[in-house]
Amino acid sequence: MLRASGLKKSYLSGDRRIEVLGGVDLAVMAGESVCIRGESGSGKSTLLNLLAGLDAPDEGLVEWEGTEATADRRARHLGMVFQSFYLIPELDALQNVLMAARMLGVPGAAERKRAAELLARVGLAERTSHLPNQLSGGERQRVAVARALMNAPRLVLADEPTGNLDERTGDAVVDLLLGVCRETGTALVLVTHNAAHAAKAGRALFLHGGRFA
């Protein structure tokens, strides 16, 4: 499904070059769930952005089903939950979820129904017409999870999707993501600091010193 090989990424800070990823390899099969842990600053979000094709590695290659991930394939087959959500402030919760569908065409009644159902599944049935600034941090995070699932993606990349949630709500969101994975064969890469969530994933990896330990 997804194969990354030899990923290297460094950032220039003043005249110093900081190496964040020093040669990361990762293969994820369809339907597989992989959890990535690692200290703050170890490069987890950097790696997810490379896997999503939102940023280019200095060296190395990311392939989806053997070829490059174009923007169109990303819109169709990738669901991404960003660490800082990236909801559109002017759009209410339902419209934010529908934005994913809008990338593929004009959403109709079926898409609106699916968006509403996904919001209900993350516990936001009563919040569909709230704007992001009228939602709590954890509620925004759950809108971002619903948006990531909107297009029934083949791959979900989720960057600490439960970072702002209480234990019970966080467990429910992770169970939803893992359930979607099992039911639909979607592959999941989950970044988390939560050991219990990591234990539920099929495989757990630890990023340290720019590589998987």
Ligand X SMILES: Nc1ncnc2c1ncn2[C@@H]1O[C@H](COP(=O)(O)OP(=O)(O)OP(=O)(O)O)[C@@H](O)[C@H]1O
Give the pair of three-digit tokens for residue 129: 């017409």
* Residue with tokens 């004009």, as numbered in its chain: 106
Question: Which distant-in-sequence residues (6+ apart) come within 8 Å of 150 by Cβ?
Answer: 79, 97, 98, 100, 101, 111, 114, 115, 118
CB nearer to ligand X: pick between 45 and 128: 45
Position closest to Mg ion via CB:
45
Shortest Å distance, C-beta 20 to ligand X: 4
Task: Determine the interface stretch with ligand X among 38-46, 71-79, 107-115, 130-138 (rule: CB under 6 A).
Answer: 38-46
Nearest Cα neighbor of 147 from 116, 183, 187 is 116
**Number of other CB atoms surrounding residue 91 within 10 Å:** 15
Task: Determine the interface stretch with Mg ion among 10-18, 23-31, 42-50, 192-200 (rule: CB under 5 A).
Answer: 42-50
CB nearer to Mg ion: pick between 44 and 197: 44
Task: Determine the interface stretch with Mg ion among 40-48, 63-71, 93-101, 146-154 (rule: CB under 5 A).
Answer: 40-48
Question: Which distant-in-sequence residues (6+ apart) come within 8 Å of 90 by Cβ?
Answer: 131
* Residue with tokens 């392939």, as numbered in its chain: 63
Tell me the per-residue interface mask from 63 to 102 with Mg ion, x by CB under 5 A, - otherwise.
--------------------x-------------------
The bridge status of strand 155-159 relative to strand 187-191 is parallel
Could you tell me if 60 and 23 are in contact, meaning their C-beta atoms sit under 8 angstroms apart?
yes
CB nearer to Mg ion: pick between 47 and 94: 47
Q: Is 41 in the site for ligand X (CB under 6 A)?
A: yes
Give the pair of three-digit tokens for residue 16: 């110093």
Nearest Cα neighbor of 151 from 108, 192, 111, 208 is 111
- Residue 20 binding partner per list Mg ion, ligand X, none, with a CB distance cut-off of 5 to 8 Å that depends on partner kind: ligand X
Q: Is 42 in the site for Mg ion (CB under 5 A)?
A: no
Shortest Å distance, C-beta 20 to Mg ion: 11
CB nearer to Mg ion: pick between 100 and 157: 157
Q: Is 45 in the site for Mg ion (CB under 5 A)?
A: yes
CA atoms of 119 and 102, how far apart (whole Å): 17
Segment 51 to 90, residues that bind ligand X, using CB under 6 A: 83
Give the footprint of Mg ion on this chain (CB under 5 A).
Answer: 44-45, 83
